[in-house]
Amino acid sequence: MSDDTSEFQRRLRELCGELARGDYDNIDSLFAMTIDEGAPVVVQELAEAFASMAVQIEAREYRLGEMLAELKEANRRLEEANRSVTTENVTLRSQVQRLTIEIDQTRKEREVSEIVETDYFRGLQERAQAMRQRQRPTPTSEAADS
């Protein structure tokens, strides 16, 4: 194996190590190696394969970054919607409570009205009135007591 071949292999191993660590700063050197006529064909082919993998990884990372940004935005909108729904729920609970009280009051008034309008209740009122009149001292009975 010639010194040139060994140098290309060493450089290829070095660049692949950088890629493995997530360092893409020297990817242009890897691409340059694919067209370097002084490099052995096997080194050119390996450089091209590794460069292709690096491009795919970068594209995937870019897509993941975009997806992450979209998810963060969706999360922000969901949190905003959650706050809005929470506020609306408080308002609706208050309205339901107020309406329940109004319904209860209306029901009570209707039931009282139904009772007051019965013949039985009118009869009770008349008897109560008569009892009150009997219990009131009459002016003649007061004079007799004195």
pLDDT digits (tens, 9 = 90+) for 76-103: 999 999 999 999 999 999 999 999 999 8
Alpha-carbon span 100 to 144, nearest angstrom: 58
47: Cβ–Cβ under 8 A, 6 or more apart, which residues? Answer: 12, 15, 30, 31, 33, 34, 39
Q: State the virtual CA torsion across 122, 123, 129, 131 in degrees, nearest 10.
A: -160
Q: Supply the DSSP symbol for 40.
A: -
pLDDT at 88: 96
Angle at the Cα of 87 (from 81 to 89), degrees rounded to 5?
100
Q: Please tell me the predicted confidence (pLDDT) of residue 145.
A: 56
| Residue boundaries of the structural domains of the chain | 3-105
With contact defined as beta carbons under 8 Å apart, do 51 and 30 qualify?
yes
Question: What pLDDT is stored for residue 13 in this prediction?
Answer: 93
Give residue 144's pLDDT. 56
Query: b/e for 101-127, b at 16 or more Cβ within 10 A?
Result: eeeeeeeeeeeeeeeeeeeeeeeeeee
Query: What's the rounded Cα separation, in Å, for the pair 47 and 132?
Result: 115
Indicate the SS3 state at residue 23: coil
Spans of the chain, pLDDT less than 50: none
Instruction: State the Cα–Cα distance between residues 114 and 93, nearest whole angstrom.
Output: 31
- pLDDT score for 5: 78
